[in-house]
A = this chain, B = another copy of it.
């Protein structure tokens, strides 16, 4: 087994020994790497008693490394792959989950708030790229016709504007959001709280298959893992932290959907809420959330959502009614140059102007304009996108070539 394979196996074994998100485990991996961390835990060297008990109980049930090897084989047969921080497609944004502190949760167990150790992924898009421009749309399972209509419209509108729609694959709002995105021919990601070989709920199996075809099915749990109740809350932090913002459409009092929005706020993401009739039980949770969280934003449609999460002018241009934003005024040449810039790294003016179909003189003029607008930065090796100004992503095929699986 190569060193790389050993690291991957260790990460899987660790998520089997203790639930994903367990902070003590994450700290060990940060300090020692996954292989040594696994060795330490299996040798009884857990840093705290609770983790020691958990690991001992699991180890009594099976050999962690053997279970992990079997999970990898099962995933292979399923057409699913393991994604770890060593992979190029690892979604960098989830690292910020290490700053997530949920006061009430961390008091109970040392779990739920550390970044994921690995993801199981089904679907051809590179995970990181799929999540780069993504918004979560979540809500009640027992959604009303109103809520499903709104969620479908949101899913459709976001996908149509090249945003990935992330949700939890549940009945009601989640399913409506996924469907809206699929209907727009867009990219949607279902983040599950169980193994990808047994997606829950089974009533959504057809939907899951459609999602896997054009989007992604994602889970932190290895194949075979059951959708246990606490896992949904653990999963919610990934939905909240892996996206740029979370929209809640319908939620009853104290629902799981508002828990995801809460995690979004604590992870410094945008938490957005669609209001509803005050006479509807399915809007009680959304209104409560808006009243209790001054940071939460009331949104009534895709235009408002894009205002919150939209980073590049292109998202806002067709909808903005307020004051003009820099990118609203970009001409075709500047736009082409922006789109020609590589996602990572810099590119010289010659190659860039050729790629954008703009003559070098014009390219230079437009690039300094873009620089002035802080959308582009000049570096020794050419021009690069400024950290927050990213172009629309390319087609799946291109993207897959760039990053590789």
Contacts and interface: CB of A to CB of B under 8 A. Distances in A.
Interface of A: 146, 149-150, 274-279, 283-284, 287, 290-291, 294, 297-298, 300-301, 304
Nearest to A280: B277
Nearest to A146: B277
By secondary structure, the A interface counts as mixed
A183 to B, nearest CB: 18
A149 B279 CA distance: 9
Contact of A275 (B287, B297, B301, B304): B287
Contacts of A278: 150, 274-276, 300-301
A284 B321 CA distance: 15
Nearest to A290: B298
A206 B341 CA distance: 70
A149 B280 CA distance: 13
A283 B150 CA distance: 15
A321 to B, nearest CB: 11
A276 B298 CA distance: 12
Contacts of A291: 297-298, 304
A297 B287 CA distance: 11
Nearest to A284: B300
Contacts of A146: 277, 279
A291 B274 CA distance: 12
Given A146-B279, A274-B278, A276-B277, 5 more contacts: A150-B278, A150-B279, A275-B287, A276-B278, A290-B298
B294 A275 contact: no
A203 B134 CA distance: 52
